[in-house]
Amino acid sequence: MFKLIRKYIRIFRKSRFDYESLVRVRVSKSAILHNYETFCNVCNGKQVAPVLKSNAYGHGLIHIGKILDSKNTPFFVVDSYYEALMLRNEGIKTQILVIGYSFLKNILTNTDPGIVFTLSTPHQIREISESLKVKQMFHIKCDTGMNRQGIRYEDLEYIVSLIKANKNFCIEGICSHLADADVENSLHVERQKNVWINIVRELKNHFSHIKYFHISATAGTQYIEQFDSNVVRLGIGLYGIDPFPGRALGLVPALSVYAVVVGIKPIKRGDFVGYNATFSAEENMTIAIVPVGYYEGIDRRLSNNGFVSIRGTACPIIGRVSMNMVSVDVSRVEHVREEEEVCVISNKIGDKNSVVSMAVRCGTIPYEILVKIPERLRREVID
Q: Catalytic amino acids?
A: 275
Amino acid at 279: F
118: helix, coil or strand? strand
Amino acid at 300: R
> Alpha helices of the chain — where are they, by DSSP H?
2-16, 29-42, 53-57, 61-68, 81-89, 104-109, 122-131, 156-164, 187-206, 355-362, 366-371
Do 163 and 128 contact (CB within 8 A), yes or no?
no
Phi, psi of 331 (to 5 degrees): -60, -25
Torsion angle, alpha carbons of 79, 84, 87, 92, to 10: 110
Torsion angle, alpha carbons of 287, 290, 294, 297, to 10: -130
Closest residue by Cα to residue 153 from 185, 191, 209, 118: 191
DSSP 317-357: EES---SS-EEEE-TTSTT--TT-EEEEEBSSTTSTTBHHH
- Measured CA distances, 370 to 132, 219, 257, 298, 373 (Å): 38, 17, 11, 10, 6
Closest residue by Cα to residue 82 from 58, 108, 110: 110
Do 215 and 199 contact (CB within 8 A), yes or no?
no
* Residues 78, 80, 82, 85, CA torsion sign: positive
